[in-house]
Amino acid sequence: MAMIIDAFAFARNAESIRGEVALADLSRLDLLERAGVLEFTLSGYIGSQQRCFLHLSVTGSLRLRCQRCLEPMDWPLALEATVWLARNEAEADALPVNEDEFDPVVGSESFDVNALIEDEVLLSLPLTPKHAHCPEPLVVAKDLAASPFASLKGLKRDD
């Protein structure tokens, strides 16, 4: 279920919320299982130059596929992110890339907290998730010395 806030009022009033978001509600994540929840804390504040900020903390566990052995793996998630609330796309684009350590996000009176959580989780995931040490394969590998083209030998014609 989407959680909607007035992002600028939330930051100006230094509000804070804690809650859970169901993995089933985060459809853009490529997960093996969607059971469970992520816990989050969202806090707003006014920073330098009277700009509005949101600070997000998310913890939980995601079930991903190891790209080395292709077996399921649990990925512990503990992320911290702070975003600057821009009033529109033009204001967000006007910020020089290296000037600030905070990413701009366009705020609104109907700001979707779940979308922010999903965006930050996506950004925190590894490009290729891998076990530190892959488990032993469940199926014993066939003779690796045999050529994959051995069966084609019978098709070869002698001219």
Instruction: Indicate whether 138 pLDDT > 80.
Output: no
Q: Smallest Cα–Cα separation from 129: which of 25, 57, 37, 30?
A: 30
Residue pLDDT, tens place only, 34-79 = 889 999 999 999 998 899 999 999 999 999 999 889 899 999 999 9
Q: Is the pLDDT of residue 9 over 90?
A: yes
* Whole-number pLDDT of residue 141: 52
Q: What is the pTM for the complete model shown? A: 0.78
Structure tokens at 62: 């995601």
Quick one: average pLDDT of 74-96?
90
Q: What is the pLDDT of residue 45?
A: 97
What is the sign of the dihedral through the CA atoms of 107, 108, 112 and 115? negative
pLDDT at residue 115 is higher than 90 = yes
* pLDDT at 151 exceeding the cut of 80: no
| pLDDT tens digits, one per residue of 18-35 | 999 999 999 898 888 888
Residues with Cβ within 8 Å of 44's Cβ and at least 6 positions away in sequence, in order, are: 7, 10, 11, 12, 13, 14, 15, 16, 52, 53, 54, 55
- Give the model confidence (pLDDT) of 98-113 as tens digits: 655 788 999 999 999 9
In the chain, what are the domain boundaries?
Answer: 4-155
